[in-house]
Amino acid sequence: MRDLSGVHPPVATPFGGDGELALDAYDNNLREWLSHPIAGIVVAGSTGEAPLLDRRELWKLVETTVARIGDRTLTVGTGAESTREVIFVTRRVAELGANAVLVRSPSYYLKAMRPDAVRDHFLAVADASPVPVVLYHIPQFVPVHLTPDLVGRLVEHPNIIGIKDSSGDLRNLGQLIEACGRNAQVLVGSGALLYAALEAGAAGGILGVAVIATRSCCQIYDAWREGDHRRAGAMQERVAPLHKSLVAEGGIAAVKAALDRLGLYGGVPRSPLQPADAAKLAKVDAALEAAALGVSA
């Protein structure tokens, strides 16, 4: 089983003034993120505006990342409403060099998404995928709950190796850790909970705030691994407000504005998402100043 331990930034997708992918800017951002001891990169996660990308763009992002990432883990978001579509995209990104895929539940036909339908969807994807599958639980965007009981049954499949839990609920995270046991690893999705999640038994995190404060998130993980709990806790106290202000409250526009402020390329979100207005930009500046943290900090 591929080891997912560590910090995996779910990287932002930059667009140019013409609305197309800004691949050169993306490659420059990758250089910065990969200069830190991260475990891997997640392409086409929520922070990467996955639902707003077309297939052609996804292929280009994966190809660009594969050329840069070396032996670290490249996880690609391949969630879609159709099981058939998920399998097609999963097979293609695996051909391009992805090491794992991150798959959310279908939710458009919400009433039909009973546990047996969700189970069959993930098992079909796991059967067909050439690379390991990581389940994605993000109830604030996808209102299909991957309950600990269901997850415990799913991870009995040898090709389902983990779950990202973005519920922000430590109790739920603990139940998922217990349900996964030795069959799979749990990754926390909240940058405010990384240290607590590690203490509870999580393997690491896929953290939106790690796109902004890459080194600091890695330092939390490294300090915890070395048994320096005081340092890990102190770093977590600095990162948590940044997560709350920029990721949980500010969303994609705030994350991209923060990248611009830090010397990387954020740019504007893709429509229908709106760019940061003056009030949001002021909050971004205040959060960065208060945290005294940056991508290189």
Output the pLDDT for position 1: 82
**Rounded Cα gap, residues 151 and 170, in angstroms:** 16
pLDDT by residue (tens digit) across 61-113?
999 999 999 999 999 999 999 999 999 999 999 999 999 999 999 999 999 99
Whose CA is closest to 141, among 104, 111, 175, 173?
104
Phi, psi of 204 (to 5 degrees): 165, -150
Residue 268 and residue 13: Cα distance in Å, rounded?
10
pTM attached to this predicted model: 0.96
pLDDT at 295: 42
Instruction: List, for residues 182-191, the tens digit of each pLDDT value.
Output: 999 999 999 9
pLDDT of residue 292: 83
Q: Is the pLDDT of residue 199 over 80?
A: yes
Percent of the chain with pLDDT over 90: 97
Strand, helix or coil for residue 141: coil
Can 244 be counted among the known catalytic residues?
no
Distance (Å, whole) CA 78 – CA 233:
34
Q: Which of 111, 164, 244, 256 is catalytic?
A: 164
The predicted pLDDT at position 293 comes to 56
Residue 296 pLDDT > 70: no
